Structure formats: C-alpha cells, structure tokens
A and B are shown apart, each in its own frame.
Chain A
Amino acid sequence: MELLLSAKIVLAAAIGAALELDAYFIGMTLVSQPIIAGGIAGWIFGDFFTGIFIGSLVQLVWISPPVGAYVPPSSSAIAYTATVLCLNMNVLFVHKEFDALIMFGLVIGTATGYFVGQADIWNRKLNTLILHLFEPAILKGGIWPVLAAQAFALAAKFFRDAVFYFIVFAFGTGIAAKIFSSLPPDILKGLEKALWVMPVIGLAVIYETFRTRMGEMLHIALFLVFYLVFWKFRHVEPVFFMLAAAAACGVVIYNFVWNKRSR
C-alpha cells in the first residue's frame, strides 16, 4: 500500500479540519463552502483551476438546505477531498482521462462527505458527555468550566477531522489511484460523461430551491434574452452580465413583489 506523506498532506489535513469548523460549529460565515474549500485545496497542491472547478460543481449540486432531521453530507468535505485526491492521483499516475479522474474523485469525495456528516453526530453525543462532566462546576458559577467544555468540544471536532483527512489523503490516494488504474475504458468513458451531467444536476437543484411562478417566468425570459445576446455577440463580459441580470431582477421584484403590496 502506497503511503503519500508530505508536509502538504499534513497541511491539507489541518486546513480541511479548520474549514470544517465553520460549516456548523463556529461562525457559519460560509468560509467553509465548497467554492472556497476547493480553491484552497487546489492552491495547496498547485492546480488552482481544478480546485475551483470541482468546488463550483459541488457547490451547485449541494447548495440547497437539508430538510428536517436528515443529516446531509458535508459539501465542504466533498469538494476538499475530491480536489486533493484528484490532484494527488494525477501526480502519482499521470492520466490522459483527467475528466474521468475528477469524477472518480467526486465519487470518493461524496462518500467522505457522508462520513464527515455522520461523524458530526458522534461529536454531538460526545458533547452531551462533556456537558455532564462539566455541569457541576458550571453550576458553581465560574467561567473556566464553560471554557473548558467548549475547548474540549472544539478539540474533539478538529482532531477527529484532521486525523480522518490525514488518513484519507495519506493512505487513500494510493488505493484510489490503483482502483482508478484498473477501471475498464467503458467505465472511464462513463465517468467522463457523468462529469458533463454534473452542472445540469446543479442547475436543476437551484431551480427547485428557488422555484416560484414569477421566478419561472423571469428565468425563461432572461434565459432567452441572454442566449440570443451571446449567440449574436459570442463574448461574455462578466460585469455587464451581472449588472444586466441584476437590473432585470430588480425591475421585476420592485414592480411585482414590493410595489404590488403598496397599491
């Protein structure tokens, strides 16, 4: 079994664990989101483009909020793991089928994301034990037992994720690379096609997340207008695009949502 051990792997494991804290436990400022996690992983391993690409795909697909008591996979872990594995597998075994490699990385990343999400349940159970341990001292009124309980909870979450990421990156990369190398060409072709489908899944998820009747009409209108504009002019100027889309949305919202109420 090939062990991939380097300072970058240790750094990646630590940064990944730190990012996971923002996902739910500290702040929830969106710093841990896939578009950032993927970019950071790509930066660590020298391929920013792939990291951003994977992060964007994962962000699109896993953008909607979880429903009820369902514990979703950690989208941050999916993007981060997929990027790290993909880039390290590409270094170990240089592949022509890079699209298939990205998709394979995403499949493993999804499994990792599920594990991280489920492992958060274990941390919450551990926090219940921590609460019972420190509660008698907390009820005496001091701040230090509270700080200690919080520190224990933080350390448990961080070290769990750091160790898990380290194991996956150090040991998992070699195993994954061997599996990928042994896949028949038809499966590689299928993985390439699946990567093409991923943005479609993401667009559909967002459509369902934001769907309203008025929104659907605006969606179709802007789709047709921009499709024709880009068919005619071929080039996208991002600033113009954003301003035009924002203006169109603003006009519709002002007239049909807010102004409608005040009539």
Chain B
Amino acid sequence: MQTNGPKKMISPLNLLWSGFKLNLLHLAWNFERLQNLGFYFSLHNMLRKIYAGRTEQRLAATRRHIGFFNTHIFFSTALLGVMVRLEEDLSDETPKAKEMEIESTKMGLMGPLAAIGDSLFWSGLKPFSLLLGVGIIWLTKFTFTGWLAGVVISLAFYNMLRIVIKYYLLFKSYYRYRELFSFIQKVKFQDIMKSLKVAGMGFLGAFTAVYLREKQLTIVGLRWLDSLVLCGAFILVIWALRSKKSVSFIFGASVAACIVLAYIT
C-alpha cells in the first residue's frame, strides 16, 4: 500500500483535544451503528486538518467514519490514533484500497480492545476502586471526612489509571501504530486482573472482619449466634449468585424472607 509523500503531522494538541472529545463517545449511542457519532465527532478536527483543501477526500473519510463503531470507551483512543495515522499515511490515489485497509484495521481492532477494556475496567479497576471507597467510608463510620477520603481515593485511583491508559494508547497508536499489536500482546493483562482480584479479596476479608466486630448484631441477641446467622445468610447469597440469580432478585427475596420471618417470630 502506497503512502503519501511528506507526512502531515497532527500536533499533540490536536490529539489531546480529540482524545478529550472521546469522553462523549457514548452520548449519542444508538442501536444502528452504536458509537459512530461519538467517534466521528472526536475524529472530525483531525480529518479537517489532514484533508485541508481536499473536500472530496474529506467527505470520503466522513462516510468511512460515520459507519459502525463499537469498542471500549477508554481503549477507543488506540483506534483513534491508528485511524488518524492511516488517513494521513495511506495514499489517496487508490481510494478503494485505502477504504478497505482502514475498514479492515478498524474491524480487527475494535473487538479485542473492547474485550481487554471490559475485563480490565468493568470487572477489575471499577469494582476495586469502589470497594476501597466503601471500605474507607465504613471504617470511618460514615463521617463527612471519611466519605471525602473514600471518594477522593476511589476516584483518584480509578481516574488516574484511566487517563494514563487512555492517553498513552492514543499517543502510542498515533506515533508507533505498527507496534500497537505487539505492545498489547506484551502487557500481562491476565496478571494485572489476577492482582486486582487477589487484592480485592484481601481487602474484603479485612473489611468483613471489621464489620463483624463492630456491627451491633441483634437478630437473636447473642453475638456468636448472630454471627452464625450472618454467615448462613452470606453462604445463601453466594449460592444464589452461583445459581445465576440477579442481585436485584436476591435483594427482593431477602426483603420478602425477612418480612416472613418477622411474621413468624
């Protein structure tokens, strides 16, 4: 595939601005083409720069990028960087070949990035950050200072990582887009996920100990018996979760069971 002559450099500021606009990736999410509007919106300023004075090519790029798009919001910067580089580098002399190359690269990257992002963020970083926050709030007995500390630590932990990953991928994919695949392969996502899960379990064990020690348990009135009832309820909920019952179902069933128990006792 031929590349264009002198490279038109997109400035780091252009990249940063486009990356920032990706915060609106989900704003106009629709069932037909999913995140297409959000992605095109973030790409628009760079397409204008790349195709300055070449309206036909810019409109062709618009048609390309208003199509289907779906990936993880924080990993979409990787795709943004790659798409911009391809739009810049690939020759316009063979528009059909350029279109196919860009489309196939986009389709090839969307899925894997979405899978990585979903496990890393939604199953790992997000619940872990929130667990830290809730734990601090409970430890400090729901004071304002404790709440503030919990919220700040939770948000800082999550958002710092989010921003670093997002913009690192953006610049990496733009300046070194050929190395993107090998870079992603080198990152030990499985070990990172395992670390988050182990840390989550560790903190949970410690928080559970504090909860049991400090909670005024008043089901039966005897601490050891109330602890047993608590353990029994814990095991029951675990069993329900492993039986694929939704959390809301368990919530409703717990309320109903407690009301029935109140009538019986």
Contact = CB atoms under 8 A, between A and B. Distances in A.
State yes or no: do A and B come from one complex.
yes
Contact of A138 (B32, B62, B251): B62
Contacts, number: 291
Interface string A164-201: 00000000000000000000001101110110111111
B203 interface: yes
Report, as a range, how many residues of chain A touch the other chain.
35 or more
Given A227-B212, A238-B136, A215 B202 contact: yes
A62 B59 CA distance: 45
Most central of B127, B203, B213, B247 by chain A CB within 10 Å: B247
Interface in B196-213: 196-213
A124 B29 contact: yes
B175 interface: no
Given A197-B254, A215-B198, A249-B203, A204 B30 contact: no
Contacts of B29: 24-25, 124, 127
B146 A238 contact: yes
Nearest to B213: A230
A207 B210 contact: no
B142 A139 contact: no
B49 interface: no
B260 A218 contact: no
Interface residues of B, number: 100
Contacts of A214: 194, 198
A7 interface: no
B110 interface: no
Interface stretch (B80-88, B148-156, B177-185): B148-156
A187 B259 contact: yes
Nearest to B74: A28
B241 to A, nearest CB: 5
Q: Which label, helix, strand, loop or mixed, suits the secondary structure of the B interface?
A: helix
Contacts of A225: 209
A63 B127 contact: yes
Contacts of B30: 124-125, 127-128, 130-131
B189 interface: no
Given A211-B201, A252-B202, A52 B147 contact: yes
A62 B126 CA distance: 12
Given A39-B151, A241-B206, A245-B203, A201 B134 contact: no
Interface of A: 24-31, 33, 35-36, 39, 48-49, 52-53, 56, 59-65, 70, 73, 103, 107, 110, 114, 124-125, 127-128, 130-131, 135, 138-141, 143, 146-147, 149-150, 152-154, 186-187, 189-191, 193-194, 196-201, 203-212, 214-216, 218-227, 230-231, 236, 238, 241-242, 244-246, 248-249, 252-253, 256-258, 261
Given A191-B255, A257-B191, 14 more contacts: A65-B123, A125-B30, A131-B33, A190-B258, A204-B241, A208-B241, A212-B198, A216-B201, A219-B208, A241-B206, A242-B135, A246-B203, A249-B198, A253-B195
